[in-house]
Amino acid sequence: MFPLPPVDGHAAFQPETGASYRHVQHGDEWRLELRTPPGSRTVEAIFDRAPRMLAHFGGRNATFSSDSDCWFVQQAICTKNIPGGRITLANRQLIMTQHGERTGREVTDAGWHEVLRDRFGIVLDASVRLEIPVTRSHS
């Protein structure tokens, strides 16, 4: 997703998904709303703007890094903002989104380290290999 300033009522369209996101303020509480055609609206997040210490995030970080149902544990993911969009490496898929256009390509095992280094500035020891975790079926 793109940076969306916390301004009450400010909305931005995300062409690659066809959805709009909007911040709405209710007193001290803020909501991030997702609007999709033909006009449905869901609240994606509720937050406030109170300052937090790093320790406040410890519990959630533990969940994100260890719970087998968590999306971050189920795949290798790296993403960063770039002018006009973002670049993502998800497992072996390199995805570029710029100005509403999305392109992607498969990255080989040999090219995985190169993409991390050249696109994200991450240098890993050559012995580190991509291992895609086995995900559970949620039926």
Question: Model pTM greater than 0.85?
Answer: no
Residue range 71-139 forms a domain whose CATH class is alpha beta
End-to-end CA distance of the chain: 28
- Under 8 Å between Cβ of 99 and 111: no
Return the C-alpha torsion angle 106, 110, 111, 114, nearest 10.
Answer: 160
Instruction: Give percent of the chain with pLDDT exceeding 70.
Output: 91
Digit-coded pLDDT (tens) for 63-89: 888 888 887 777 888 889 888 788 999
Q: Does residue 38 surpass a pLDDT of 90?
A: no
Please give the pLDDT value at position 130. Answer: 80
Please give the pLDDT value at position 137. Answer: 45
The C-alpha atoms of residue 120 and residue 112 are separated, in whole angstroms, by 11
The full set of domain ranges for the chain reads 11-47, 71-139
- Under 8 Å between Cβ of 130 and 78: no
